[in-house]
Amino acid sequence: MKYEIDLFGVIVPSLLLWSIIAYVLARTVSRLIARAGCYRHIWHPALFDFALFVCLVTGLVFVSKEFPL
């Protein structure tokens, strides 16, 4: 994994890009969970959403180490 990515001449930390991708994925999964009605079984939905985001960021960073850009 590169620690910095050159994006049109601007050096951007790669964690920022992985966080944006994870945010989009987390919002999508959250909407699917809400549509399925599973949030009524979750004690604290906001905490669940945050944990989902953290797990997705961690997974993306781990996968990016396996497949360098």
Residue 19, pLDDT above cutoff 70: yes
pLDDT band at 7 (very low <50, low <70, confident <90, very high): confident
Angle 9-61-46 from CA coordinates, rounded to 5°: 105
Q: From the CB of residue 43, how many other CB atoms can be counted at a distance below 10 Å?
A: 6
CA distance 66 to 49: 26
pLDDT, one tens digit per residue, over 29-60 is 999 999 999 999 999 999 999 999 999 999 99
pTM equals 0.82
Give the model's pLDDT for residue 60: 92
